[in-house]
Structure 1
Amino acid sequence: MDWINLSSPKVRAQPGHYQPFTWPDGTFHALPEIEDADDKGILNLLDHRRTRRTFNALSVDQLGQLLWRSTRTQAIAESDYGFDLELRPTPSAGAIHPIHILAHLPGTPNWRRYDSRRHGLVELPGSVEAFAGLAEQCQQTLPSEQATRLLLVAEPGKTAAKYQHGESLIWRDAGVLFAIMAVIAEALDYAFCPLGITGEPWAGQLAPSGVLTGVGVALVGGPAPKD
């Protein structure tokens, strides 16, 4: 797969101006009004979900809760692609799940890769130094000393084994993964905020050229301390 590098979005120094498209007039068909959810289920949760940008320290156990409920491997199936397909809480094109999650908790010596099958973290030696530029970019985007950083690292070759022109599927996988994690974080009373940066070029330097690429970064923090 010839990966298309979209680069990390940046806020313009000066706001641009755009005139939104005007849709043609047509007959309006009102939908039934929806009453607010009065329970504590998923509908109520979605009504109240908000991006939070103030972070408290997140423990390893709390991080494990987020990862378990959003991206653990629940089942596997053999395939002809050279790797197993997987069932996880988060959907993925072709059940391929080409995205790895790397996490860095403040004060820890290295980033760690989430092993979704064993539900554990695998340390990446030397990664703090290698990702120093990424940490700086995160601080410039949204300063926080307490937030845990999550980096999504895609392995495009997995998706390419099944799909031609599958780049957009990987980006959609990344968006779905962040969306599910945001909902789970809200349910756990965590703060969760995706950043605009992709994690490149640092993610791509973890393997030979073209094997891995960054497709998103998010910050997550634990619940506020109880009085």
Structure 2
Amino acid sequence: MKSPKPKNINDEFHPFKYPFSTKTKLNRDFKAREGDFLDILLTRRSSQNLGHISLEDISELLYYSNKVQTINIDNSGFLISKRTVPSAGGRHPIDLLVSLPSESKRFLHYYNPIDHSLSELSIPREIQQSFFAEVNENIPVGDCCLIWFSIQTKKTQSKYEYAESLYWRDAGSLLYCIQIISNYLGFKSCPLGGLAVKSFDNLFPTNDLISGGGILVGR
């Protein structure tokens, strides 16, 4: 793997547009919390003993871990954002796909970090179920929430040569950020080792996305 370096002239980038239908605006008004940072840091652990978690809980987790706080334009005219999690060049190439606990069949939703909303993806049910089946081969999803990383590689590649290590570092930073905030909020979490590449590639008719793995969050 070669070392990344900034390009002299940034490439033009057109983001992949996810097919979605129903949008749900998420709550932004959360109760005040207290906690010592070092206690939260030192007690962080992964756990596979995960129970049901509510939409309200997931809304708070997404808000603190990935919600866009400010937006700027760089010298090339590219939209960059500031969030609690770092990203190379402020690109933030990782989109979060969220599957909430369901009494019947699971579905994937796209998380919009700008307006803090979830939109149900318009993907045939059998293709989604094939994806969940492959994810379950790693650790059973059970009754918790699945957050999956969908990486728009060209977003980082538009600014950097040899960008592969950068968006994977972004994925690691985001994974840890979600775990730390989950611990702060009193949730349990478990990163997933598998990438479910085969079934993920079938979700979207594009070569511009790659699977970045995911994390389970529950009570």
- 8 A Cα contact 1:201 1:214, kept in partner: no
Mapping for residues 64-143 of structure 1, pairs under 5 Å: 64-79=59-74, 83-107=78-102, 110-126=107-123, 128-143=125-140
Which residue in 2 is equivalent to 1:197? 194
- Percent of aligned pairs sharing the same letter: 30
Taking the aligned partners of 1:127 and 1:190, their CA distance within structure 2 comes to 31
Change (3 A) 1:203 1:70: same
- 8 A Cα contact 1:202 1:214, kept in partner: no
Change (3 A) 1:199 1:79: farther
Shift of 1:206: 4.1
**Farther off after superposition, 204-213 or 194-203:** 204-213
Mapping for residues 213-224 of structure 1, pairs under 5 Å: 213-222=210-219
Deviation per CA, 1:113-156, whole angstroms, max 9, x where unpaired? 10000001011023542222221122221124212111100001
Matched residue count: 184
Mapping for residues 1-227 of structure 1, pairs under 5 Å: 40-79=35-74, 83-107=78-102, 110-126=107-123, 128-222=125-219
Change (3 A) 1:78 1:162: same
Look up the SS of the partner of 2:198 in the other structure: coil
Shift of 1:109: 5.3
Provide the TM-score with structure 2 as the length reference. Answer: 0.78
Taking the aligned partners of 1:196 and 1:111, their CA distance within structure 2 comes to 19
Taking the aligned partners of 2:72 and 2:119, their CA distance within structure 1 comes to 24
Taking the aligned partners of 2:207 and 2:109, their CA distance within structure 1 comes to 21
Structure 2 gap ranges (5+): 1-33
Taking the aligned partners of 1:87 and 1:68, their CA distance within structure 2 comes to 13
Taking the aligned partners of 1:193 and 1:142, their CA distance within structure 2 comes to 9
Higher relative contact order (CA 8 A, sep 6+): 2
Change (3 A) 1:110 1:131: same
Shift of 1:82: 6.0
Provide the TM-score with structure 1 as the length reference. Answer: 0.75
Deviation per CA, 1:4-24, whole angstroms, max 9, x where unpaired? xxxxxxxxxxxxxxxxxxxxx
**Farther off after superposition, 163-172 or 207-216:** 207-216
Amino acid at match of 1:161: S
Look up the SS of the partner of 2:137 in the other structure: helix
Deviation per CA, 1:49-93, whole angstroms, max 9, x where unpaired? 111111111111110111000010000111355641000010000
- 8 A Cα contact 1:76 1:87, kept in partner: yes
